[in-house]
Amino acid sequence: SLKFLPRGLSSKHFVNETYLQPHISVLTNTMNKEARLKASINQKLTETGERDRLKELLRAKLTECGWKDQMKAQCKDVIKQKGLEHVTVEDLVVEVTPKGRALVPDSVKKELLQRIRAFLTQHAS
């Protein structure tokens, strides 16, 4: 049974914790496995130097397609709107990151994904 209920709420507002516990455990285990897998992949990418090669490829592709210039223009617009004295680097990052992610061409995303898949196939252990 529930040990704590906010004032004005009865137990019918909540799912019994004995029902939830096994589901929470499964979810936690799945999240832990995903976190370990991600860490393992990142470690392998870093150790082999593939991470740096992928970053360089991404930089080159983004420059080539004009993304870098678009982001520079976005930053200038934000600074112009808010005034140089009223904008921090953090403000710029928060403001332009969503648009920056959206502006990455699908072809660039697909190429990176193919390279990562090929790497994982080659280094499967």
Token pair for residue 118? 């090929």
Could you identify the residue written with the tokens 């934000």? 78
- The CB density around residue 45, as the number of other CB atoms within 10 Å, is 19
Per-residue model confidence as pLDDT tens digits over 7-54: 555 555 455 566 667 767 777 887 788 888 889 999 999 999 999 999
Q: What is the architecture of the domain spanning 49-124?
A: Orthogonal Bundle (1.10)
pTM for the predicted model, two decimal places? 0.68
Among the residue ranges 23-27, 41-45, 77-81, 92-96, the one predicted with the least confidence is 23-27
List the chain domain ranges: 13-48, 49-124
Positive or negative: CA dihedral 73, 77, 79, 83: positive
